[in-house]
């Protein structure tokens, strides 16, 4: 990829910066800045702003309502978003199930499901992990039994992110126990309002409800909501996981975290000299920055491969495990830089309407919950141990 941008690409960067600066709502930017959880309404509001501009799905083909942007333009846009306090987009529809549907789904499924994904009128969640099948996903046991034009689904999914907000769930279910564990898995689209679905919260270490337990008891799903062939769901699941693991690289968000870390380390507190003047700590920040730069160029390499018609395969695991490690490294350094100011953490302080300022200096707000939740980054999307196994077997051929 040539990073000497053309005049047209530079004009697009200026346009993107001007658009984000003019259209990012102040209240949403402030919430992102202090680390407050955004509501579904707030995230949807920002997504609809991008949708109205035609920029909600730059990576989707134009034929399905996307931007059809090339790799360079997508890179520029991601960098612009990282320069502002923009919220993360809900990935389950835009990054995960949407591409599965337009790649493997039939025409009726594309017409029914893709438009409300783009407009954010329908939210999705992911039904992959189970209590006994997390990183070893092929051992999943949630079963779907076909009866005429419907499947009846029974089982349990766990770590179902944002299921409390979702209208639909894309779900891996077992339709056959013959052959290898990867065989006999089917990819279903399930309406979350269907009788027999129960969602219960899991409160994570940061005191928030990011994830849930989701129970299925005789849930009736039309066969027309099956993507692709029965018992071939593992193929579609691997395609989806490649998109997920590429997204977990989080180069843009980590750039934003790194800037925040540098600001904190450069601040003077109670007359003490800035921590950034300490050679050892400055060196550790530099190490994180070097790692992030290397990850960025690896991401650019994969974007260039995709633009040349060579989609990323198991190599995406490198982005996932390195990106999640860097996120933990940067957030860990941030908490260390804050020192005792990071310790007094009250979740209510970050909620809208709280009438007291955050404990400690302003730059301490939101850093502890970000640090706590980042501990899960090396687990979700397939643990980093699993990613290393994938790289060893499928990339290096060991």
Q: Would you state the pLDDT for residue 335?
A: 92
Nearest residue to 85 via CA among 37, 19, 31: 31
Say how far apart CA 130 and CA 153 lie, in whole Å. 14
Say which residue, 205 or 236, is predicted with more confidence. Answer: 236
- Read off the DSSP letter of residue 353: T
CB burial of 162-190 (b: ≥16 within 10 Å; e: otherwise) equals bbbbbebbbbbbbbeeeeeeebbbbbbbb
Q: Would you state the pLDDT for residue 355?
A: 45
Are 176 and 141 in contact, with CB atoms under 8 Å apart? no
Say how far apart CA 323 and CA 250 lie, in whole Å. 6
Residues 332-382 have pLDDT tens digits of 999 999 888 887 666 665 565 554 555 556 667 678 888 888 998 888 877
- % of the chain exceeding 70 in pLDDT: 91
Are 344 and 359 in contact, with CB atoms under 8 Å apart? yes
Mean pLDDT confidence for 129-156: 92
Are 166 and 236 in contact, with CB atoms under 8 Å apart? no
Please give the positions annotated as active site: 244
Q: Is 85 helix (H, G, I), strand (E, B) or coil?
A: coil
Mean pLDDT comparison of 36-45, 110-119, 132-141, highest-scoring range: 110-119
Residues 84-98 have pLDDT tens digits of 999 989 999 999 999
| Average pLDDT along the chain | 89
Domains and CATH numbers, the chain: 7-89 (no CATH), 124-232 (2.40.110.10), 248-395 (1.20.140.10)
Q: What is the pTM of this model?
A: 0.86
Nearest residue to 334 via CA among 235, 262, 273, 234: 262
């Amino acid at each position: 990829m040539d990073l000497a941008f053309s005049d047209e690409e530079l004009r697009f960067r200026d346009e993107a910066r001007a658009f984000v600066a003019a259209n990012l709502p102040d209240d949403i930017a402030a919430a992102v800045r202090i680390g407050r959880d955004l509501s579904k309404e707030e995230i949807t509001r920002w997504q609809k702003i991008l949708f109205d501009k035609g920029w909600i799905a730059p990576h989707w083909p134009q034929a399905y309502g996307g931007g059809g942007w090339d790799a360079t333009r997508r890179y520029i846009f991601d960098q612009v978003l990282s320069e502002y306090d923009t919220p993360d987009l809900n990935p389950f529809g835009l990054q995960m199930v949407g591409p599965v549907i337009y790649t493997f789904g039939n025409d009726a499924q594309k017409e029914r499901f893709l438009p409300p994904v783009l407009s954010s009128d329908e939210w999705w969640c992911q039904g992959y992990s189970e209590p006994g099948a997390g990183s070893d996903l092929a051992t999943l046991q949630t079963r779907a039994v076909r009866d005429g034009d419907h499947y009846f689904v029974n089982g349990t999914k766990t770590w179902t992110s944002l299921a409390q907000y979702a209208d639909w769930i894309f779900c891996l279910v077992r339709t056959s126990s013959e052959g290898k564990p990867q065989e006999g898995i089917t990819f279903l689209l399930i309406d979350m309002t269907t009788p027999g679905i129960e969602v219960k919260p899991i409160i994570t270490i940061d005191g928030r409800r990011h994830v849930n337990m989701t129970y299925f008891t005789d849930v009736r799903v039309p066969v027309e909501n099956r993507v692709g062939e029965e018992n071939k769901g593992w193929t579609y699941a691997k395609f989806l996981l490649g998109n997920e693991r590429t997204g977990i690289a989080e180069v843009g968000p980590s750039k934003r975290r790194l800037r925040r870390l540098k600001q904190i380390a450069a601040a003077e507190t109670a007359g003490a000299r800035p921590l950034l003047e300490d050679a050892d700590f400055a060196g550790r920040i530099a190490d994180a920055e070097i790692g992030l730069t290397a990850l960025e160029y690896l991401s650019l390499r994969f974007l260039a491969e995709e633009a040349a018609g060579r989609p990323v395969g198991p190599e995406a695991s490198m982005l996932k495990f390195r990106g999640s490690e860097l996120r933990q490294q940067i957030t860990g350094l941030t908490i260390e830089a804050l020192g005792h100011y990071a310790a007094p953490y009250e979740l209510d302080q970050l909620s809208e309407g709280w009438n007291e300022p955050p404990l400690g200096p302003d730059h301490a707000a939101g850093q502890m919950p970000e640090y706590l939740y980042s501990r899960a980054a090396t687990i979700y999307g397939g643990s980093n141990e699993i990613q290393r196994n994938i790289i060893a077997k499928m990339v290096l051929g060991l």
